[in-house]
Amino acid sequence: MNSARLFVQLADLKKLRGELRSLRPIAIIRDSLGPLRQIVKDICNKTYEVGLPQTVVFIVTCFEYSLKEGYRRLKDGDLTDKENRSFLKPDAIRLLYGKIVKKDVLHGDEKLVKRIKAVIQERHIIVHRAGILDKEAYLAFEEAGLNRGTVGSKLKLSPEVVSEDIDHLKTFVSTILDHVN
Q: How far apart are CA 90 and CA 142, in angstroms?
A: 17
CB atoms within 10 A of CB 151: 12
Residue 27's pLDDT is 58
Residue 25's pLDDT is 58
CB atoms within 10 A of CB 169: 25
Residue 115's pLDDT is 98
Task: Work out the average pLDDT over 108-123.
Answer: 97
Residue 32's pLDDT is 59
Give me the numbers of helices (H) and strands (E) for the chain, helices first please: 10, 0
pLDDT above 80: residue 22: no
Task: Work out the average pLDDT over 13-18.
Answer: 65
Residue pair 80/74 in contact (Cβ under 8 Å)? The answer is no
Residue 42's pLDDT is 74
Residue 120's pLDDT is 98
Report the predicted TM-score, pTM, of the whole model to 2 decimal places. Answer: 0.79
DSSP 154: B
Residue 131's pLDDT is 93
Q: What is the pLDDT of residues 23-79, one digit of tens each?
A: 555 555 556 556 666 666 777 777 777 888 999 999 999 999 999 999 999 988 899
Q: Among residues of the chain, what percentage have pLDDT more than 90?
A: 63
**CA-based nearest residue to 144, from 125, 124, 161:** 161
**CA-based nearest residue to 72, from 87, 61, 60:** 87
More confident residue, 177 or 29: 177
pLDDT band with cut points at 50, 70 and 90 for residue 18? low
